[in-house]
Structure 1
């Protein structure tokens, strides 16, 4: 089971890192999933994520408050809008646009519904 958790953590962290530059993938949920999976499989990797200067604060906010900081919310939603705008500009078929709109709309609603965390 440890290997499965380790693999899930590695895949989630990889997706989160890709999400930093690719607007279709949200970074925060994948990093949080990676931290959870690493907590089940590798204390060393879990500690690395929790102490990481970039990923650590978002994991701490989520763990303590179920929160996503406003700047990460704004970044996530603006990247989703940018991806959708690019798809419209590239004349992606309407069916694909509808799927993107539903998926990104759901993701944006979830992100925006989370508390901001402590002030």
Structure 2
């Protein structure tokens, strides 16, 4: 088995959202987001958008697999996060060893309303 490493540049930025100032990291690539996917098999095909990472959620492989198998399930840690700006999509980055990176925009809700993957 061959292992491949991909490096995506991340640029620290400040985004003004109403009266709030957010410190984010902008990915150097745009990714397509799927609306209300049930699981990873339903990702892809949307219009690519700039990804603005507001926070990273690290998981075990078991936690990730459970999350990825049911993206529409309510999760307290997503509640009230995400959204879009003229600069891009505000996302929670979800990662686990040996799994793709997921970018989740709950659009203020508590589930994966818009999700993209890298890897």
TM-score range normalised by the length of the shorter chain: under 0.3
Q: Which has the larger radius of gyration?
A: 1
Relative to the length of structure 2, the TM-score reads 0.28
Q: Counting strand residues as a fraction of each chain, which structure ranks higher? A: 2
